[in-house]
Amino acid sequence: MKYSFILILLSTILMGCPYQSDVELNTYEESLKVDKNLIDNWVSYHDDYSREELSIEKLAKSVVGISHKEFDSKNRLKGSNKFRAYATEIDAITIFNIESDNGKYMFLKYGWTGKNEFYIQAVNAEFVEENLRSDSLSTEELRTFFTKNVNQEKMFEEKLEFYRKDSPEHLKVKMFMKKSGF
């Protein structure tokens, strides 16, 4: 599958403690082509009624720009970030490299759960730090580690679901939340 929908990884950063690396899994040139279905505005809601919003735009054939905003339960902006993302496929799973301004990379996998819904899962830092030992990590070593572990549940944080903003699915979620006192 060709999905360069890295903006999701921005959200995962706020979910837990995602793994950060000085090296990427692949280069821009080796990346999967951008999935045009990802280019849009997305929203995710949390149990405490806070939310995250992503705006994804195509920057190049295989690279997307992600604007991430986080709002608290009272609809106040808590923070915003911008990232570049590009994807690779490992054992039939699409993994995004999320490139931050500080030169670090985060990684996440995602999957579609409907026409207007997808989920992301960040790579768990604790799992990687316990199982990957290297004094000077290379892209090849990191990719080998991912290939061996990409199917292990413990490698990833919990799923975070996103809805295409103003889609029928998003409106259903908003209506449910409103009825629940949101």
Q: Tell me the per-residue pLDDT of 69-79, one tens digit each, with 9 for 90 and over.
A: 999 999 999 99
| CATH assignment of the domain containing 26 | 2.40.128
- Give residue 105's domain range: 20-180
- Ramachandran class of 181: left when φ > 0, alpha when ψ lies in -120 to 50, beta otherwise: left
Quickly count helices (H) and strands (E) in the chain: 4, 9
pLDDT number for residue 16: 55
State the pairing for strand pair 93-99/77-90: antiparallel
In the chain, the number of structural domains is 1
- Name the nearest CA neighbour of 14 among 96, 139, 120, 166: 120
Close Cβ partners of 53 (under 8 Å, ≥ 6 residues apart) = 41, 42, 43, 44, 68, 69, 70, 71, 165
161-171 pLDDT per residue, tens: 999 999 988 88
For residue 1, is it within any domain?
no
- Enumerate residues 6+ apart whose C-beta is below 8 A from 1: 32, 35, 89, 94
Any domain includes 89: yes
Tokens describing residue 62: 């295989």
pLDDT, average across residues 5-17:
43
Contact 119, 44 (CB under 8 A): no
